[in-house]
Structure 1
């Protein structure tokens, strides 16, 4: 059962804790956002996962809601963010800035060039549409790419994470915005694959921009139809839980 990002004065308050400019996400909040909002059932987002990481889609949502939209908006993730790690959201200064922990370690590098005035309803509509695409990533879009390349991840220890995200917008969207899948590609380098998913962004008045998400798949091995079928069946079972 999916859950929308709520409207109102604090639409993302259910998915993070905040104290001034410091913000953190606990495992339950991150897991609920991944599964109920983004439709992403990656085992790394299970509450009890040993390598639990805060979903990149949730960081995208929090950053977009905090800083607004811009013509060029890109996030580059600097490693996995563990549950409960406080982040400092600095005042926006210039077109590039970092979101770091209390110890100064950078977790997200942000490019936010040429702000686009928009109301909260439009920002939330774009967030919902953009993060919702993650529900189509596996197995729908990723598995055909892996099969074509003849590789797959370790089914016992799957490691698939977002590396970066980017949006290019000509104008702010309306509340009827949609993010539609376009091309996808995969490049293998040793035991790692870099995957790119492209999207078209449009609303009732036409195309307003494009977006992309880059993913890293690690621990590659030779593709095995039977093993992948078992992984896909198990994933669909997780969706039904």
Structure 2
């Protein structure tokens, strides 16, 4: 019963958040902080879920430029993750998001970037074009390197896009990890659970080229998996 009630409340809140965010973006379209400020609206959803979230540290680059990569778990991410976003950031999203009523328009007006991930043969060319946009704007980028929600399966293999972009743009990778929500969150309980979040040290892309994309992805995934395991272990003893 509690789960069903929360599902209804969150759906209503998501729609309300989209409308409030859209109003903000209409007033100041493509502003450098639109994504962060709209994210704050959605982050209040975790209070409706009674989820405690602890941010262990702040971004090591502040509002500076970097390519942020984070683990993508489930639909709750939209309410749990936003509180960690720095300013001056844009989200890289699949092109199909533009067709979601209201949200697609909000995503665009906030200054986020759509990409077509269907053509793998042109992946490097696509990221080269995105890199030009990122350099021109002077912004950071936020990407889910798994490309889809893991839904309790753990950290999935990484796609190459985020790492190709980081190398082409000459920006560091900044991993951002969250504890496993499928292990620590239960929406059937009054107090749904806890989430820990941590920024990892930047990974330099200086001197790297196209041939280094796969190894960069592997190194990043290894560090993120180790950090997620540590966060889960920390929650397990509390």
TM-score above 0.5, yes or no: no
Greater fraction strand: 1
Q: Normalising to structure 1: TM-score of the pair?
A: 0.29
Greater fraction helix: 2
